[in-house]
Structure 1
Amino acid sequence: MSIREYLPMLTAFEDEENLLAAFQAGAEGYLLKTMEPESFLWQLTGMNAGESPIAPHLVKQLPHKFIQYKENTKLHTLSGKNLTDRQQEVLQLLTQGLTYREIAIQLKLKEATVKYHIKELLTKFGLSKRTQLITYTLRNDLVKRK
Structure 2
Amino acid sequence: MTMAPGTAPTPRMNLKQLTPKVSAAMGELHAAAALAASEAGVEPELLELIRIRASQLNGCAFCLDLHTKDARAHGESDQRLHTLSAWRETPFFTDRERAALALTEAVTSVQDGHVPDEVYRAACEVWDEPQVAAIIWAAVVINAYNRTAISTRMIPG
The answer to which structure has the higher helix fraction is 2
TM-score by length of 2: 0.29
Which protein has the larger Cα radius of gyration, Structure 1 or Structure 2? 2
The answer to which structure has the higher strand fraction is 1
